[in-house]
Each structure stands twice: as structure tokens, then as C-alpha cells.
């Protein structure tokens, strides 16, 4: 999708600190981290949000969660714990309309999030 920031990161047109890349998904460090570990996992293909992705391609939605888990393991937070978050829409604070799973860890994470 033209004019989509995360499509541009997925294609490599905009640089990012990539920690995982495969044919279907890319994981990269959030530019404004909210925790010591803060990685975003996105599909290469453009989908607006997690529900749209799951409806269009359930296997790809599952792959994103598997990549998020692998990232958490690689970042060393599998045992201490981590959070996966996918914001949808304005009241949830979704600022980039290309589905992304936040992987947050490395500190105590309050619940509910502010
Ligand atoms: P949202 O607010 O949509 O749930 O999450 C979007 C996230 O993307 C935010 O945490 C924000 O810091 C991150 N972000 C926005 N622009 C960039 C960018 O150009 N590069 C990277 N690596 N992260 C970005
Ligand atoms: Zn996109």
C-alpha cells in the first residue's frame, strides 16, 4: 500500500532495527520504546488491523503470534514475561494503520495499561 509507513519498513525502503525477517513477517525495534524490550511484529502484506488480518488470512495471523513468541525468546523475556498488544482504532491509540503486534517486556508491566 502506498503511503504506509510499515509497508515501507517491510520493503526496506525506510530503515528500521530489524530483529527478524522472513517471507511473510518482519520484526523491528519500536522507535520510541515503552519498555526495555519493545519490538513490533508486522506482516509484509498490508492489513489494517489484527481482526482484518485474521479474517483475511488466519494462517498469517498465527504466524505473527509465533514470530512474536520467538522474538520474546530471543530477547530473553520468555521466562520473566512479556505482553503482546495490537491496538485497533483511534480510541485504542492505533497510530499506524498497518497491523502490528507490540512485544513488550523487561520490566513490570502495569495492568490495565494507562
Ligand atoms: P500504535 O500506536 O499504532 O499501536 O503503535 C505504533 C508504534 O510505531 C508506536 O509505538 C511508535 O513508536 C512506532 N513507530 C512509529 N513510527 C515508527 C518508525 O518510523 N520506526 C519505528 N521503528 N517505529 C515507529
Ligand atoms: Zn502497510
Q: Is the pLDDT of residue 4 over 90?
A: yes
Please report the atom of ligand 1 found closest to the CA of residue 86: 4
CA 32 to ligand 1 centroid distance, Å: 7
How many residues can be counted in the chain? 114
Confidence of residue 1 (pLDDT cuts 50, 70, 90): confident
| CATH architecture classification, 5-105 | 2-Layer Sandwich (3.30)
Residues 49 and 94: beta-carbon distance below 8 Å:
yes
55-91 CB burial, b ≥16 within 10 A, e <16:
eebeebbebbeebbebbbeebebeeeebebebbeeee
The share of the chain scoring above pLDDT 70, in percent, equals 100
**Mean of all residue pLDDT scores within the chain:** 97
Mean pLDDT of 89-114: 95
**Pair 77, 7: CB distance under 8 Å:** no
What pLDDT digit, counting tens, does each position of 51-87 carry?
999 999 999 999 999 999 999 999 999 999 999 999 9
Task: Provide the residue ranges of all domains of the chain, joining segments of one domain with +.
Answer: 5-105
Q: How far is the CA of 50 from the centre of ligand 1 (A)?
A: 16
Amino acid at each position: 500500500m502506498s503511503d504506509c509507513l510499515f509497508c515501507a519498513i517491510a520493503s526496506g525502503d525506510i530503515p528500521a532495527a530489524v530483529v527478524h525477517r522472513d517471507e511473510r513477517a518482519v520484526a523491528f525495534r519500536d522507535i520510541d520504546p515503552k519498555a526495555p524490550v519493545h519490538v513490533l511484529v508486522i506482516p509484509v502484506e498490508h492489513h489494517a488491523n489484527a481482526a482484518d488480518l485474521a479474517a483475511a488470512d488466519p494462517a498469517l495471523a498465527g504466524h505473527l503470534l509465533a514470530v512474536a513468541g520467538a522474538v520474546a525468546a530471543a530477547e530473553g523475556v520468555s521466562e520473566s514475561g512479556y505482553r503482546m498488544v495490537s491496538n485497533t482504532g483511534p480510541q485504542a491509540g492505533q497510530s499506524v494503520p498497518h497491523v502490528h503486534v507490540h512485544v513488550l517486556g523487561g520490566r513490570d508491566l502495569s495492568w490495565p495499561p494507562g
